[in-house]
Copies of this chain bind each other. A is one copy, B any other.
């Protein structure tokens, strides 16, 4: 993580997530703690989607060095969202998180079989969104598109060596 070139995709940012979060904490009179540092590290060393339980599963267990309690995990995830580091959305009734800071806007294909999220980016979609909003005199702050269905892999597995494999 070079401090001066943290650009990814189409978004230009000058601060690392750590620096950005420190700013956020300071601006609110909040404190840097071991737990917050731990969580920041665990959340930003992998670029993937996760829910609270998946994150907790990766963290040190109770009794081990670096353990963070469940309430603190939830509290801190909310802080990351507030700080603009993470984006949250709902999937099957639970909260799912993904990197926001420094990452380009995108949407998802959701495979209902393997439960994988596949990212895609579409400028057309943004234009369409803005056009619709304009028609309704609506001021957009964000959007969320999730396309449900079956991914390539699951399509293969579900019907092996068949001729009529097309939609």
Asked, given contacts A143-B148, A145-B145, A146-B143, whether A132 binds B138 with beta carbons under 8 Å apart, the answer is no
CA distance A148 to B125 in the complex (A): 14
Tell me the bound Cα distance from A147 to B125 in angstroms.
11
- Known contacts A120-B132, A124-B128, A142-B149; 7 additional CB pairs below 8 A are A118-B136, A120-B135, A125-B128, A136-B151, A137-B155, A139-B155, A143-B146
A150 at the interface (CB under 8 A from B): yes
- The CA-CA distance from A132 to B143 in the complex, in Å, is 17
Residues of A within 8 A of B (CB): 90-93, 95, 109, 111-112, 118, 120, 122, 124-125, 128-129, 132-133, 135-152, 155, 167
